[in-house]
Structure 1
């Protein structure tokens, strides 16, 4: 593993990576997106959304590195930043094991820091998770109007599998397929998992569409973010899943 270098000015275009940097060295953050909500009170400049960043504003901050993600950020924006002479570190996270590697790369190679203690704590928390003693099959909507669900090769799907929940559409050709509601209801699942992001499913918005299934309302930050939230995610997610019986 590359050793730490001098810390540098960082722009983060990924909310979970913003939280990761802020947990270790918030003073490095000079630019963050409008969607970067954790932790509260960050003083860095806002540079637009993950899909529509203000490239001029980013360049004016003279960052040493911009943190991005291959799924959350548009390739054309990242290419434009590189063309302007800005170093862009792009992460790819589709499994928990991949998250450990990419977070190490972000913190050490990207930010010039030592590997943070919270990352080791997160690894320990997931390592201590007992093997599932029973399995359930779930449909996992992430949007409605139209209905979209988790498909193949997703970080959230990997976390759910470690908690004893099989994604009904894990073998789908698409990562986030659109599936008609009547097909979701007839998919043979025994659970519907409803995270509160990217669509904000709530007790009053989502479960009523699946009257025959128990509904697990999950924290999207704990299910889809890779960062310090992974420390408490096993306990938070397991509790919410256990309540959906």
Structure 2
């Protein structure tokens, strides 16, 4: 029997919220407090990505809840399924994984066709020129305490494809805590400072790395898989080049 078209969706992942909202308008009925794209999205807010209000989601009676294996807790996914809701859980650790996962999400949400932005995104990443000189980096994602990208992360794969290798890619943890003195002593070619999850700014972050080049980058382009993927290679490459001049 063919699957009934999905008409009510709750998203627990900011990048997937944007994906569904711009591709299948009117389908979303709920999203997290962190789902800020597209601007002006008018849906019921269901709490955070790590602490969604399960009872509020159940009350919305969605046909589908979309989640991510890293962004959301397994306990919350299990609670939603126990309440009788269908939950689609994505897993994206590398750029090539993003495209079939996004297609899967959109098909489950009843999108009639593969959107143009997804075609452009796949092309943009497939047509990247071979990077010349590769640069080394550390990528803080938090301070107090300092935490950085470690092994097996989507953001790390994004940077690698742009010719920037982060020095903790072989760490046993995915987001290790590393003392600031150790980060400085690693002497990377540049320090990449995204504006999420910690909001690094020109006044909050670069001062911790005197003598090192710092690139302030958009966290949405570095860590989100969704419509931002189409412009991420250009936006990130420009920010990285500017920092290394």
User: Aligned runs of 1:52-201 on 2, under 5 Å?
Assistant: 52-108=51-107, 110-113=108-111, 114-201=113-200
- 1:4 offset after TM fit, Å? 8.7
Report the counterpart of residue 26 of structure 2 in structure 1: 27
**DSSP-derived class of the 2:26 partner:** helix
Runs (4+) of structure 1 exceeding 3 A deviation are none
CA gap 1:47/1:132 in 2 versus in 1, 3 angstroms = same
Gaps of 5+ in 1: none
Which TM-score applies when normalising by structure 2?
Answer: 0.96
TM-score (normalizing by structure 1): 0.96
Q: Distance in 1 between matches of 2:3 and 2:211?
A: 53
Deviation at 1:112, TM superposition (A): 2.1
Cα root mean square deviation, aligned: 1.2
Q: What is the distance in 1 between the residues matched to 2:23 and 2:73?
A: 27
**8 Å contact from structure 1 (residues 190, 214) kept in 2:** yes
Q: Structure 1 residues 244, 65: CA separation in 2 closer, same or farther (over 3 Å shift)?
A: same
Q: CA contact under 8 A between 2:6 and 2:64: conserved in structure 1?
A: no
Query: What is the alpha-carbon distance in structure 1 between the residues aligned to residue 25 and residue 141 of structure 2?
Result: 30
CA deviation after TM superposition for structure 1 residue 5, in Å = 6.1
Query: Residue 15 of structure 1 aligns with which residue?
Result: 14
Q: In the aligned structure 2, how far is the partner of 1:54 from the partner of 1:94?
A: 27
Match of residue 45 from structure 2: 46
Cα offset, 1:222, TM superposition: 0.4
CA displacement at 1:120 relative to structure 2: 0.8
Question: How far 1:231 sits from its partner (Å)?
Answer: 0.7
Contact kept in structure 1, 2:190 and 2:214, CA below 8 Å: yes
Q: Structure 1, residues 72-105: CA drift from partner, whole Å, max 9, x if none?
A: 1111111000000000001111100111121111
Indicate yes or no: 2:233 matched with 1:230.
Answer: no
Deviations 1:95-133 (A, max 9, x none): 00111121111111x212232221111011112221101
Distance 1:100 1:170 in 2: 23
Q: Secondary structure at the match of 1:41?
A: coil
Contact 1:107 1:116 in 2 (8 A): no
